[in-house]
């Protein structure tokens, strides 16, 4: 069966890996990215054709969201598979997030995927079929310091996806959260610091300077040591798309199910205490206190 697939954030990283895999199949594809990023698709060898359309989509813009869904409905009978992959990552402690930064993070990672789901669901209900795949993260099940609003956005995406799984099951619509852990890539270089976070990183006398100074290279090292790649995670996404009965949650890297198991089986106070002690150079964070011993 040939489906119409709408993929967001298709121009780089995991999105580009998914796009390349899908181009090998027979499905009709609407591959989207911000207008300035569309040339990356062509540079990667992905060309528009009768079954592949490259469309500019800033997921935060209502008019653009409606346009791509309306095009799929008019030309191809609607979206059969929605893959919400577009995302942005801000690095900041809670004190270093202003209103605009908080809204920008939530808009891309949570509100915009939710709007796209709402747009495609009427057509899926009418067909009594459809698939929604939301790319989440281990950050949506466990939070790390300096990644507060990123985790908040992914926790929110997890919550709405779980509720939706129940809501649309009567119509045969499948909802899945794909949860990657650390992926071997340089995507950490695209992480955005908030204004105050950047200032803290540059000034050693800032109370949170050690948080940033230690967490940023720790995350970078962990990612570069990971065996998982964008391509291996993309294969998981495509398998979920084709599975007859996909689960609600799919750990997309080897570490993801381990993190999940650790969280579920470890008593809460012990879990948090252990993770705190495992943070890089945590004894140097903030003022000396008994809590840091």
Annotated catalytic residue within 37, 136, 137, 148? 136
What whole-number distance in Å separates Cα of residue 45 and Cα of residue 40? 9
Residue 133 neighbours by CB distance under 10 Å: 25
By C-alpha distance, which of 64, 37, 177, 179 is closest to 119? 64
Annotated catalytic residue within 150, 193, 208, 212? 150
Annotated catalytic residue within 11, 12, 137, 161? 11
What whole-number distance in Å separates Cα of residue 4 and Cα of residue 95? 43
Annotated catalytic residue within 90, 148, 154, 185? 154
Cβ–Cβ under 8 Å, residues 170 and 121: no
Q: For residue 136, indicate whether it is catalytic.
A: yes
What whole-number distance in Å separates Cα of residue 223 and Cα of residue 229? 10
What whole-number distance in Å separates Cα of residue 280 and Cα of residue 218? 7
Q: Which residues of 52-84 are buried (b: 16+ CB within 10 A; e: fewer)?
A: bbbbebbbbeeebbeebbeebbeebebbbbbbb
What whole-number distance in Å separates Cα of residue 174 and Cα of residue 282? 42
By C-alpha distance, which of 220, 86, 96, 200 is closest to 153? 86
Dihedral sign computed on CA atoms, order 77, 83, 86, 92: positive
What whole-number distance in Å separates Cα of residue 205 and Cα of residue 48? 52
- Residue 70's SS3 state is helix
Beta-carbon contacts of residue 57 (< 8 Å; ≥ 6 apart)? 8, 32, 33, 34, 64, 65, 68, 86
Q: For residue 154, indicate whether it is catalytic.
A: yes
Residues with catalytic annotation?
11, 136, 150, 154
């Amino acid at each position: 069966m040939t489906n119409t697939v709408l993929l967001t954030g298709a121009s780089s990283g995991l999105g580009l890996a998914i796009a390349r895999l899908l181009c090998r199949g027979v499905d009709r594809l609407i591959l989207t990215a911000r207008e300035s990023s569309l040339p990356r698709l062509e540079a990667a060898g992905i060309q528009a054709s009768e079954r592949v359309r490259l469309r500019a989509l800033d997921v935060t813009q209502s008019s653009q969201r409606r346009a791509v869904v309306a095009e799929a409905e008019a030309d191809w009978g609607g979206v059969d598979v929605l893959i919400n992959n577009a995302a942005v990552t801000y690095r900041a402690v809670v004190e270093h997030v202003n209103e605009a930064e908080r809204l920008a993070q939530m808009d891309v990672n949570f509100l915009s995927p939710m709007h796209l789901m709402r747009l495609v669901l009427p057509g899926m209900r009418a067909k009594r079929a459809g698939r929604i795949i939301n790319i989440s993260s281990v950050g949506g099940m466990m939070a790390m310091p300096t990644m507060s609003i990123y985790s908040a956005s992914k926790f929110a995406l997890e919550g709405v996806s779980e509720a939706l799984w129940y809501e649309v099951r009567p119509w045969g619509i499948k909802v899945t959260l794909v949860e990657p852990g650390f992926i071997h890539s340089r995507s950490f270089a695209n992480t955005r610091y908030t204004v105050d976070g950047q200032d803290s990183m540059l000034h050693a006398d800032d109370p949170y300077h050690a948080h940033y100074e230690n967490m940023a290279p720790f995350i970078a090292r962990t990612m570069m040591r990971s065996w998982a790649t964008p391509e291996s995670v993309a294969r998981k996404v495509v398998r979920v798309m084709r599975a007859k009965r996909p689960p609600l949650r799919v750990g997309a890297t080897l570490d993801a199910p381990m993190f999940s198991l650790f969280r579920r089986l470890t008593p809460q106070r012990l879990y948090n205490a252990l993770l705190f002690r495992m943070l890089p150079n945590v004894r140097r964070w903030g003022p000396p206190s008994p809590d840091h011993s």
